[in-house]
Amino acid sequence: MSQRIVLTTTAAVPNREVKEVVDIVSAEVAVGMNIFKDMFSAVRDVVGGRAGAVQDTLRDLRNQALDELRQDASRIGADAVVGVDLDYSEFSGGGRSMLFIVANGTAVRLK
């Protein structure tokens, strides 16, 4: 059911009218930065200046965050999430580094 939730970065869903704003929804995905170091030491797949393994990992993490956003919206009875924003951040401290991806937006019901 959550796969039917429309996600858009715009303030509205094209050709659909918002009936009701439900709530703000957010999803967070965190991963240790060692995953990137491990990928580089295992395989050096930099082609044309691009690191394919790192890009694939970032894409997977982004998809996880968006899937969780859909699940959260579905759980509260929304049809769509508008104004979706993705933020990437790194946190370091105590000898550890983490990459955070946060997806958030406004869950709405459509007419």
Sequence ranges of the domains in the chain = 2-110
**pTM score:** 0.79
Would you say residue 43 has pLDDT above 80? no
- pLDDT (tens digit per residue) in 11-20: 999 999 999 9
- Round to whole Å and give the CA distance between 110 and 7: 12
Pairing of strands 50-51, 96-110: unpaired
Is the domain covering 2-110 a CATH 3.10.20.30 domain?
no
Average confidence (pLDDT) over 23-35 = 86
pLDDT computed for residue 75 by the predictor: 97
Would you say residue 91 has pLDDT above 50? yes
Would you say residue 42 has pLDDT above 50? no
Name the band, by pLDDT with cuts 50, 70 and 90, for residue 108: very high
